[in-house]
Amino acid sequence: MPRPKLLIIEDEKLVRWSLQQKLMHEGYDIESCATGEEGVSLVRDDSFDLVLLDIRLPGMDGVQVLREIKALEKDVAVIMLTAEVGVARAVECVRLGAHNYLCKPFEFDEVRVALEKAREELKLRREVARLHRQQKSRFAAGNLIGESPVMRATRELIAKIAGSDATTVLIEGENGTGKELAARAIHFDGARAGQSFMDINCAALPENLLESELFGHERGAFTDAKSLKKGLFELADGGTLLLDEIGDMKPSMQVKLLRVLETRQFRRVGGTQDISTDVRVIALTNKDLQAAVGKGEFRQDLYYRLKVIPVRMPSLREHADDVAGLAKHFLERFAGEFGKPVKTVAPEALAALQAYAWPGNVRELRNAIERLVILEAAPVVQRQHLPTEIRTGMKLQDQRVVELPAGGVALVDVERELIWQAMARCQGNQTQAAELLGIERDALRRRLVKYGYAESTSA
């Protein structure tokens, strides 16, 4: 592990020499100088982690040196040394970006402890910056892969939203089309990237718990409220709040959400004070909200408030030309993750991939490729390596689940039969069957109860 680099800028020769000698034994790589001009020159030519900087220097004083150093290297931790009776200038230095200050005369232990604290904070700050860069790279709009016109247009729209001041975005699309990835791209490609990104599934919690999660609660607001709790609208202040499956939110919660979007204020459960929030709200749904409005299942005013900036994620069927590029991307990604050689796809296998309807969209394609990388040892993916439903699938333009009889058919009978087939093909696995049908597992479970499917099934 590299030794931390320390620069000492101190005009008193004895103090400078003493600090240098003692700190060398603490594991620092040290350079020193007697003037501010020399110190600025050293920072300009090299990179330092820490600086001990005297305020009173001949020529350029410590305050000006601090400004110059911070202009050159924002990440460096500067500790000011002052012999002045008043510490007003040292406090000013902290305001200008200094990490701390020490008053002369000081004990060496004070210097050692101050440097150790600065190192720990610097390490934490750099780790946060590294994770932020990692997230920004992972969730950038460029990760929405595809060169088809519809995908290029989608990426361009997401980039525009990310660079805008839009505080409300609605992303619609089928399951597996990349709605969450689009939401994260809007956050991490925008000005809010350095702030919190919070997310919650509106269908996963009962109404009372969802309200507490979103708005928080005061101590004693209900039986189990032993202490004050901040909600996501409060924790995400300055950042982004992702509301997944917004179409499943109960009407009473829709009213409360609308108030927050309109006023940018809310109250904790059991609270009496309004709390202001500056949050970009991104709502996701796989439902047709406009149809839900027509049925009275979703508030019209909330729908139009959410749809200030609408984004529709296209199904994979709408950009089937991107299947080859997506397959290549996932082959390379999972080969790297699992430490395996990168596979190629035989023309017959690629034709089958491109002909398949992909009801689970990009997520289904990703899962299929991951399975191939894990289970198949052959360097070339052949048609026989593909899952049965993909290998035997018909071309998109010819693919039909059923033919409509001339005399018509009861839609409920078609749904029941398809659910029975999906459960049989997946050997009773509800999660896989739901994915095959392009619906959520909870939606499948409701239909199984409705149609009296009593056979023991697995998750």
Sign, Cα dihedral of 296, 301, 306, 312: positive
Q: Which ranges in 264-410 belong to alpha helices (H)? A: 289-294, 300-306, 323-338, 347-355, 361-375, 388-391
DSSP 193-244: TTS-EEEEETTSS-HHHHHHHHHEE-TTSSTT--S-EE-HHHHTTTSEEEEE
Q: Facing residues of 6 across strands?
A: 30, 50
Tens-digit pLDDT string for the chain (459 aa): 578 999 999 999 999 999 999 999 898 999 999 999 999 999 999 999 999 999 889 989 889 999 999 999 888 999 999 876 456 776 778 888 898 888 888 899 999 999 999 999 888 888 777 776 666 656 666 678 899 999 999 999 999 999 999 999 999 999 999 999 999 999 998 889 889 999 999 999 998 899 999 999 888 877 777 889 899 999 999 999 999 999 999 999 999 999 999 999 999 999 889 999 999 999 999 999 999 999 999 999 999 999 999 999 999 999 999 999 999 999 999 999 999 999 999 999 999 999 899 999 999 999 999 999 999 889 999 999 998 888 876 444 444 555 667 677 788 888 888 888 888 777 788 888 888 888 888 888 888 888 887 554 455
Q: Using DSSP bridges, classify how beta strands 216-217 and 229-230 pair: parallel, antiparallel or unpaired.
A: antiparallel
Give the other-Cβ count within 10 Å of 200's Cβ: 17
Q: Facing residues of 77 across strands?
A: 50
Residue with tokens 């590299």: 2
Angle of CA points 190, 193, 195, to nearest 5°: 135
Beta strands in 92-222 (DSSP E): 100-103, 168-172, 197-201, 216-217
All residues at 6 or more sequence positions from 86 whose CB lies less than 8 Å from its CB, including other chains: none
What is the distance between the alpha carbons of residues 17 and 26, in angstroms, rounded to a whole number? 15
Dihedral, 41, 46, 48, 52 alpha carbons, nearest 10? -20
pTM equals 0.65
Q: Facing residues of 169 across strands?
A: 282, 309
- In the chain, what are the domains? 5-133 (3.40.50.2300), 142-312 (3.40.50.300), 316-391 (1.10.8.60), 411-450 (1.10.10.60)
All residues at 6 or more sequence positions from 223 whose CB lies less than 8 Å from its CB, including other chains: none
